[in-house]
Amino acid sequence: MTIKSAVKRTALSLAGIALSTGALAAPTTYNIDSAHTYPAFEADHLGGVSLWRGKINSTSGTVTLDKAASTGSVDVSMDLKTIDFGHQGLNDHAQTPDIFDTAQFPTARYTGRLSKFSNGMPTEIVGELSMHGQTHPVTLSVERFLCKQHPMAGREVCGADAVATIDRSQWGINIGEGLFNMGVTLRIGIEAIAAEE
């Protein structure tokens, strides 16, 4: 074997290793399972008299996760026309310009990067919430995160529960200001299944 052919073979071997390592390290994309993903919230009623709880019934989006590199991202779109307080009158009112104005702003969207990994799993999501025509930073604390084989889909599924408290007036949703507490607790429960290759 000549020196030239040996160098060529070594270069090809190294290239193959690099390609295979890159393939192994490539992040996995997971599609949000809308049947098991319901962002929820808690909002004050009458300055501490009670808490109104509700959820959003239609979501879509993706999660990416690179376990080896401890990186990832999340992108969740929420159809605000499906907001559900468990009270039809309030559901209808939420659609009006008094609150979400869904004729003009039908969706809310959260995008962020997975952060502060511990034992291969994120404990925080640093991102932005776009809603009511405005975008502001929101950091979610990840209280639960688990990936495992889905028994029916035959692919990996990841689930998480992430929470944050926001001031809704920052997004121009200030109905009841002075009478109601503007703080709203967001809790995004999510399941996402690995995309088919």
- Please check whether residue 68 is in contact with residue 25, taking contact to mean a CB–CB distance below 8 angstroms: yes
Looking at residue 81, the DSSP 8-state letter turns out to be G
Residue type, 72: G
Q: What is the pLDDT of residues 155-196, one digit of tens each?
A: 999 999 999 999 999 999 999 999 999 999 999 999 999 998
Range with the poorest average pLDDT among 24-28, 30-34, 62-66, 172-176: 24-28
Q: What is the mean pLDDT of the chain?
A: 90
Give the pLDDT score at 5.
53
CATH class label, 27-194: mainly beta
Write the pLDDT tens digit of every residue in 83-112.
999 999 999 999 999 999 999 999 999 999
Contact 108, 94 (CB under 8 A): no
Closest by Cα among 144, 148, 147, 146 to 187: 144
Could you tell me if 145 and 121 are in contact, meaning their C-beta atoms sit under 8 angstroms apart? yes
- Cite the beta strand spans of 89-196 per DSSP E: 107-118, 121-131, 134-149, 156-167, 183-194
**Two tokens at 192?**
């996402």
Q: What pTM did the predictor assign?
A: 0.85
Parse the chain into domains and list their residue ranges: 27-194
